[in-house]
Chains A and B, each alone.
Chain A
């Protein structure tokens, strides 16, 4: 379950973070929020929950009057011109675990939001404090950017401040300046309304993240079972079979037998006679050597990695 507002506030107090809180009726927009806290000390923030074409999510948190150009931001992140758009409503609940109108940097406290990239307006740094919702729309919390950083660091996030007004050129010799902030992991939601491409050219980033070997299931993305529907079968079989001896043996036998079957035919029997066996063996060696070496290397590396992960995460013996 997602964090509740009270838990968040308790966390902030534990971390000895200075903040002011103001309760008010539920608000869904910055304008409505301004009616209740606009006269208070602190700058209002507007918070956008965005997603890119590879299903990676972003929170852009800016001063309320900052103009955020999604096209420019998209380019600066290296996503091309139209790469960013508003995330669907379901994602708000699924990933940020907040209601509509409540996007806030604080939502990153939820484990479901660990891959979300947070971009903060540089402008926050020149404000005494700024207003954010603490996971519900019936309260606003005023906090100084340094304290916000303290909170973000405590949940393992590095604050990224960006000059949202900047529009640097992006081209061959000028790489997108914010590309380093793009999350390397993609989160796939069970999203029946959106078709996820499952073509032959499998996306390299997605496969390695969404179909992790079982030893690392702890880190696996929650809806990975649902995503198997949308992914083509070969994608699922691919990476999950690398650590599985049975699947690998099946694959090897499959490849070998298909060569045997294709070579043992009428014309070859006549041509090679007693030598048919030798010829088929040579054929198998020639066609499969590289392939089998590759498969077994992957198996070894996968097994080692699983052991390594287990070793580095093992609990000390209880005394």
Chain B
């Protein structure tokens, strides 16, 4: 396990902090090297398409989900007829969700539909209560509010279980937490997560909570006799430390190691070096933004890789590496051919920033509108149903 104490110059990626090397971008190759996970290469993407009988998700095609651990084992087992379940989660720290928050959920929904497998979603209200110093009630409230946006991503209620830690921890889940905790020394958590003598014991004992859902016996009401079931965890790469710890523990307590499929970070509107922050509403597009807000934010704040004058732009073309609208289109424009065309035209200067932004605004507005509509369909009863401790018959059909 690596130590958290980085030299000032190096990039820093932990579950609580992400920063690039001074003024630069995150170096994902270095990250993969450092963390020790694998690159998700084209052959795996093609294999997914073959096994699921449908085109791979746009995030796979564009390399948004770019790293993994043991994903090929999951695919091998799947080919042999052995299913798996999905596990993802959210730390409900603020009411407003932005597009970056939706990325792992959009991908997880695709995985659920493509492989026809069940999903558990953990809302770590206890974590936010501890780290963000929220009251218990407030964090529970936020968890429920966030659940509505998550449900709006289109998960299948007949194979999805959403739970909040404050509600669900106990019973078999807690038994697994203790089994996990017994395998991780204090020194190890300090090493992985960088805790200090000043950190309260709540933080120190939290990692098993995020690890437990990786094991099917944590959900006896769903996976009653399937202790052998594998788990696949779609998450952003900064969550890797939690699951490195979990994978280390798994064989020692007789379970499969959970597999991971990891995404890169979603860039802030102001550019890769900018930080997306909930206190700056202009650093991201929120699911509550109106068409007007989206148009305004993209036009005014989206960092452009275009040249400063039309002549220069026609001459030199745009810098696609730093252009945010192009990056966002990479995430959300489904049509590969159209994206390629835009990249070519913009890169050579034939297309102007305004046109690219206009297309992006269309794409985002449609997405946000669809989400908002789905969100409006989510009632309190629906949240209760998703969060009810109930069996999921037909979860593999």
Contacts and interface: CB of A to CB of B under 8 A. Distances in A.
Interface of A: 172, 175, 177, 179-181, 184-185, 200-202, 204, 207-209, 212-213, 216, 219, 238-239, 242, 290-291, 293-294, 297-298, 300-302, 304-306, 308-309, 312
B380 A208 contact: yes
B148 A294 contact: no
8 contacts: A181-B137, A204-B376, A208-B380, A291-B370, A304-B385, A305-B157, A305-B385, A308-B390
B376 A239 contact: yes
Contacts of B381: 212, 216, 219, 305-306, 308-309
B257 to A, nearest CB: 32
B372 A202 contact: yes
Given A180-B137, A181-B137, A213 B154 contact: no
Main secondary structure on B side of the interface with A: helix
A319 to B, nearest CB: 27
B259 to A, nearest CB: 26
A304 B157 contact: yes
A77 B380 CA distance: 21
A213 B377 CA distance: 9
Interface residues on B, range: 35 or more
* Most central of B144, B148, B373 by chain A CB within 10 Å: B373
A114 to B, nearest CB: 13
A306 B157 CA distance: 12
Contacts, number: 95
B135 interface: yes
Given A301-B382, A308-B385, A208 B158 contact: no
B291 A200 contact: yes
B184 to A, nearest CB: 30
Interface string B157-183: 110000000000000000000000000
Contacts of A201: 288, 290
Given A219-B381, A291-B370, A298-B154, 4 more contacts: A175-B138, A180-B138, A213-B379, A297-B156
Contact of B377 (A242, A306, A308, A312): A242
A138 B373 CA distance: 50
B232 interface: no
Nearest to B291: A200
Given A180-B137, A293-B154, A204 B288 contact: yes
Nearest to A215: B381
Contact of B379 (A172, A179, A216, A312): A216
A25 B382 CA distance: 50
Contacts of A219: 381
Interface string B360-376: 00000000001011111
